[in-house]
Structure 1
Amino acid sequence: MILALFEDPGYESLWPLTATAPLYLLKVGPYRLYELWGHALGVNEYALFCRRELEGFIDWLLNRVEGRGVEVNPEQLDDDVVAVNAAYLPLPDAAKVVRELMSVAGNVIAHRGGRPLAIRATRTTASSLAEAMRGVLESELLLSMMEAFEDIPVAGRGEVSSIEGLCSHFEELLAAALESLGRGGVVVEEGARVEEHVVLREPAYVGRGVVVEPYSVIEGSSVEGPSRVGGYLSYTLVSAYSTVYVSRLERTVLAGANVIGPYSSSVGGGARALGFAARLMPSSALLGSSAVGVASLVSGLFEGRLEDGSAYEGGRIRRVTRDEAIGALRHQLSQFGRLPSDYELSFIERALGRSRERAER
């Protein structure tokens, strides 16, 4: 059986994390979310469906960089399929629902309020399903196929439609990932460097190529390498190529190539997220429920939503320039010995394009 992951229009509710990648690419501990689904279901053959503009990037990242051999937006599926919405997390309730679908002989859609969360399709129906899932699975396309499917409503945990919802499940996801790895509740990968007087409280994961600065505390958090972190991280996810300078982060998700601090914080009720290449400048803070867009920056105290390609400085918002955004990305990645890929540069260009469109309205 093939495990497929797909996006629907609800991906927008998880901005800015989903601005540059589907949620199933998010890495929690040693595994991406789609891999955690594979572990939960005992399936190791994947097909990943995504927005057309992200297809090349995902294929480059997973197959050329990481050598995984995963099909991205395949034209057809040649076996029985269980397809899972990218916004459906591999929590126990959700995994139970999907396992039950896998045992059904026919075609079934599990949904909540009409939103498809998991789909079981036989081999004869799988090709039509693949066509519908390439891009974003629109309800109209799904409705056109419904005659061939039984539909069942589902309850229980697993569906997320906000950054706060994602963060509320983060500790459980990380614990499940580390349990699957089988190396205890605190894992420091070979090639990571943890300096003196560092406290790691489970569940905690420090990936290959991560440097943890002296006197840091990491609890309930996952740091993907290569990155460099220092300060206090609590129930926080740090994606690759990020730098956290002596700062305090709580219930925060960094999408990648981020810069935090020094002496900055992301604290308070709710949860916070920084999109790809977003920056929190020295002695600045994200408060409450906040989201900072792709290539954006915050200088000062900020709470709320800062759109892609924007700079918040002392209470005022301006557009980030192309030279500024690309220069910052090049500088950040150079700290880890690499240059931006064409795909990453395109993320910046699209973010700045959205910023121009807003300014012209």
Structure 2
Amino acid sequence: MASYLPTLPPIAPVRRIRYLIFLKDVLILACTAFGGPQVHLALMLERFVAKRRYLTEAELLELNALCQILPGPTSTQTITALGFKIGGPNLAYLTLIVWALPSVLIMTLAGIGIYYVQQNSISLNFTRFIQPMAVGFLIVAGYRLARKVIQNQIDIVLATVSVLVAYAFPSPYITPVVLVAGGFATAFFYKKQEIMEKAPFRIRWANFFLWIGVLIAAATVGAVTKWLPLRLFENFYRNGSLVFGGGQVLTPMLYNEFVEFKHYLSRQEFLSGLAIVQVTPGPNFSFASYIGLLSMRNDGLSGQLLGGFAATAGIFLPGTFLIFFVYRFWNQLKRYRAVRASLEGINAASTGLTASAAISFFQPMSENWTSVTVVVLTILLLEFSKIPPYLLIIAGLFLGFLV
């Protein structure tokens, strides 16, 4: 892989300090950013734009829109691309590791804990308030994002249509269709965009071929050897190469493959892990660590850790390779007015997808007055108090232990 990672020149002390400050900011977000990509975007705007001024709000929204139309974890690709922008590929890989590590460690420990709980018949009812709280987080994040990106009647129409389509056709493959359609709709209004001088395209294909090569090699070798860790890597690498739109889209894909089809996990184990990942800061794709670990529960602790590592590498690598490939010529691509105009529609459609996900998550709990109360209280506390989100989560867990 070294051939694809150009060596940076010696880093000046001031630049090194800047990189360390950036990685510290990433670690703070990794430990406090609950609630999925929409919440992550709001926190990135607050820390990276308003506080540190690494880039402008428009640049971050552009970058996030680009990552939404690529397969892979949206917030992870966004923050990795930001590391690339600030310090090149080496800083980008460090950014990925710092961003993912806390949640991966938590979900790895969760997998070990669930296995222990299962062996000792201990109740998991203490997580009962967490799912409605996660819905509250999602609703607030969608509302805050909509306030930033919904600017006119066309955006309102696109967001509304996106809600209806995504709700009527609850398939993970509808996400890229909705996003591309939204971008296509606003691309026609390109004349409103400022004319920029175009630069010739210089596409470097190395990371694209790396993405394809790893996929083919893992599938081939895994089929021949039938070694479970390699097969897990291929399974998650394939899912990471196909999923658009974040963890809420990945969840049904993983459920169908690892519960319904392969029976690596029971339904209860899967849902318990899903509840835990809702209270875990950082990328929701760390759910893969939990699934990979329990998929190798019969191979001892070392085998479980190997399964978790294989799943983690598989789910995060494809999106990283793809954003490295596209970001290198993104500055040239966005000089075209139609491309910049399409980002407005993509952002509007994204708010609709967020609303649809919130409706889907809320509907099963709408008849439970306790869950509805928790959702409403979470929304009110997030909007009208200064209580940090992670403290709300801790309070929810504590209340679950008490009740």
Q: What TM-score results when the alignment is normalised by the length of structure 2? A: 0.26
Structure holding more helix per residue:
2
Higher-RCO chain (CA-CA 8 Å, sequence separation at least 6)? 2
Q: What TM-score results when the alignment is normalised by the length of structure 1? A: 0.28
Structure holding more strand per residue:
1
